[in-house]
Amino acid sequence: MLLQNRVKELRARFNLTQEMLAVKVGVTRQTIAAIEKGSYTPSLLLGIKICDVFQVKVEEVFWVIEEEGER
């Protein structure tokens, strides 16, 4: 399974840089970049913090997709 997200899209909508979002949620800019690329899966706590910044529900930012061959 893969975790997909709309962090980059929402960050742009709110006119936030990766650094600005990182400061708001207490991580590094590199962590935000990795989340956006899909190479890092955030903890539940970090995911909730990100959603709080954008004032949206978790399922509006993050969702899981199955990879081919998974069940």
Taking the domains of the chain in order of start, what are their residue ranges? 2-65
Query: What pLDDT shows up at residue 18?
Result: 98
Q: Using CA of residue 16, residue 22, residue 28, residue 31, what is the dihedral sign?
A: negative
Q: Output the furthest CA–CA distance in the chain (Å, rounded).
A: 39
- Tell me which fold the domain 2-65 belongs to: 434 Repressor (Amino-terminal Domain) (1.10.260)
Whether this prediction's pTM lies above 0.85 is answered by yes
Query: What pLDDT shows up at residue 70?
Result: 65
Please say whether the beta carbons of 47 and 36 come within 8 A: no
Query: What pLDDT shows up at residue 3?
Result: 95
10-residue block means of pLDDT along the chain (71 residues)? 96 98 98 97 98 98 87 63
| Distance (Å, whole) CA 45 – CA 9 | 20
